[in-house]
Structure 1
Amino acid sequence: MAQKPTKMSVSLPALLCAISQESAVGKTTFMTVLADVLTLASQPYVVFQADDKPRLQQMLGTRVVDLQPDPDLLLTQPSLLRTAYTPLYSACEQARKTGTSVLLDGGAREVERLAGFFTDIELSADLDTWKLPMLAAVPVQADPESILGAAMTWRRMTEAVPNVRLVLVENLHDRGRIEQLSASSPARRLFESELLPLVAGSPRLVMPALLTDFWQPFEESGTRFLKVMALEAEEGAAMFGMNTGEFKLARGQVTRFFKHMQAQIESILVLAAKGNGDV
Structure 2
Amino acid sequence: MARTPKTPAFPVTAPGVFMNLSQESAVGKTMLATALADYFTLAGHAFVAFQSDDKPRLQQMLGTAVASLRPDPERLLTEPALLRTAFTPFYTACAEIRTSGASVELDAGAKDVEIVCDYCREVELDQDLRDWRVPMVAFVPVQADPEAIEAAAMTWRSLRKAVPSARLVLVENRFDRGALAALKPTSPARRLYEAELQPLVGDAPHLVMPAMLTEFWQPVEEAGMRFIKVMALDAAEGAARFDMAVGDFKLVRGHITRFFQTMSGELAKVVALPAGDR
- TM tier, shorter chain? over 0.9
- 1:71-220 correspondence runs (5 A): 71-220=73-222
- 1:5-84 correspondence runs (5 A): 8-84=10-86
Give the drift of 1:271: 1.3
Whole-angstrom CA distance in 2 between matches of 1:198 and 1:143: 17
Whole-angstrom CA distance in 2 between matches of 1:130 and 1:155: 24
- Pair 1:189–1:176, CA change in 2 (3 A): same
Kept after mapping to 1: 8 A contact 2:95/2:132? yes
What corresponds to 2:272 in structure 1?
270
Q: Which amino acid aligns with 1:37?
A: Y
Q: What is the root-mean-square deviation in Å for CA atoms of aligned residues?
A: 1.4
- 1:234-245 correspondence runs (5 A): 234-245=236-247
Flag as ranges the 4+ runs of structure 1 deviating above 2 A: 272-276
Give the drift of 1:241: 1.1
Comparing 259-268 with 232-241, greater Cα deviation is found at 232-241
List gaps (5 residues or longer) in structure 1. Answer: 1-5
Give the drift of 1:162: 0.5
List gaps (5 residues or longer) in structure 2. Answer: 1-7
Whole-angstrom CA distance in 2 between matches of 1:273 and 1:129: 24
What corresponds to 1:3 in structure 2?
none
**TM-score, scaled relative to structure 1:** 0.95
**TM-score, scaled relative to structure 2:** 0.95
Give the drift of 1:147: 0.3
Whole-angstrom CA distance in 2 between matches of 1:7 and 1:244: 45
Alignment coverage as a number of residue pairs: 271
SS at match of 2:78: coil
Deviations 1:33-81 (A, max 9, x none): 0000000111000000000100000000000000001100111111111
Percent identity over paired residues: 56
SS at match of 2:170: strand
Give the drift of 1:104: 0.2
Give the drift of 1:274: 8.6
Whole-angstrom CA distance in 2 between matches of 1:7 and 1:243: 47
Give the drift of 1:273: 5.6
Kept after mapping to 2: 8 A contact 1:41/1:272? no
Q: Which amino acid aligns with 1:226?
A: I
Give the drift of 1:272: 3.8
Deviations 1:186-234 (A, max 9, x none): 1000000000000011000000112111111111111110010001111
Deviations 1:76-103 (A, max 9, x none): 1111111111110000000111101000
What corresponds to 2:4 in structure 1?
none
Give the drift of 1:275: 6.8
Kept after mapping to 2: 8 A contact 1:137/1:166? yes
Q: Which amino acid aligns with 1:108?
A: A
- Pair 1:274–1:250, CA change in 2 (3 A): farther
Kept after mapping to 2: 8 A contact 1:48/1:66? yes
Kept after mapping to 1: 8 A contact 2:13/2:274? no
Kept after mapping to 1: 8 A contact 2:45/2:277? no
SS at match of 2:83: helix
What corresponds to 1:233 in structure 2?
235
Whole-angstrom CA distance in 2 between matches of 1:231 and 1:75: 46
